[in-house]
C-alpha cells in the first residue's frame, strides 16, 4: 500500500498531545483514503481532510476529550472510539487497514508523557 500512514520518527520532546492529535488527523486521512479506494469511491483530498477533521473533532467532543489541549488519556479514549467506529463501518474487509493505522498511532501515543507530567494551560500563570 503506497502512501499508507507511518508514524514520524521525531525526538521525544516533540511528542505532545497536540502533535499526536495532528498526527491522528493525518493517520485518519490515510486510513479513509485507503477505505475509499477499497470501496472504489474516490474523494478529493481537501474534501477528505475537512470530513476527517470534522469527524475527529466530533469524536473528541463526544468522548469529553479536550481537542485543543489533549492529554494522553484523552487521546487514548478518542483513538479507541475512532477504531471502534471504523471497525463497525468497514467490518472484516477493513481490518488490516485499521490494524496498521492503529499500530502506527500507538507508536506515538506510547511516547506521550503521563497526563500529570504535562502542565495544563490553566496551571500556567504569567
Mapped onto helix, strand or coil, the DSSP state of residue 108 is helix
pLDDT of residue 117: 54
Q: Please provide the average confidence, as pLDDT, over all residues in the chain.
A: 89
pLDDT of residue 115: 87
Which residue's C-alpha cell is 500507538?
A: 106
d(CA 34, CA 47): 15
pLDDT of residue 126: 46
Residues near 48 by Cβ (< 8 Å), separated by ≥ 6?
Answer: 29, 32, 33, 36
pLDDT of residue 52: 94
Take residue 1 and report the three cell numbers written for it. 500500500
Residues near 70 by Cβ (< 8 Å), separated by ≥ 6?
Answer: 17, 18, 20, 21, 60, 78
Q: Examine the pLDDT at 119 and tell me if it is beyond 60.
A: no
Take residue 120 and report the three cell numbers written for it. 495544563
pTM of the model: 0.84
pLDDT in tens, 50-102: 999 999 999 999 999 999 999 999 999 999 999 999 999 888 989 999 999 99
Amino acid at each position: 500500500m503506497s502512501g499508507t500512514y507511518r508514524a514520524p520518527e521525531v525526538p521525544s520532546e516533540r511528542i505532545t498531545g497536540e502533535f499526536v492529535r495532528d498526527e491522528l488527523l493525518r493517520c485518519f486521512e490515510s486510513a479513509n483514503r485507503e477505505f475509499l479506494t477499497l470501496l472504489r469511491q474516490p474523494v478529493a483530498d481537501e474534501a477528505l481532510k475537512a470530513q476527517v477533521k470534522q469527524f475527529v473533532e466530533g469524536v473528541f467532543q463526544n468522548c469529553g476529550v479536550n481537542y485543543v489541549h489533549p492529554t494522553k488519556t484523552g487521546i487514548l479514549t478518542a483513538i479507541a472510539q475512532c477504531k471502534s467506529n471504523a471497525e463497525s463501518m468497514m467490518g472484516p474487509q477493513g481490518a488490516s487497514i485499521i490494524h496498521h493505522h492503529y499500530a502506527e498511532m500507538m507508536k506515538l501515543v506510547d511516547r506521550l508523557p503521563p497526563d500529570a507530567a504535562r502542565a495544563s494551560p490553566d496551571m500556567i500563570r504569567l
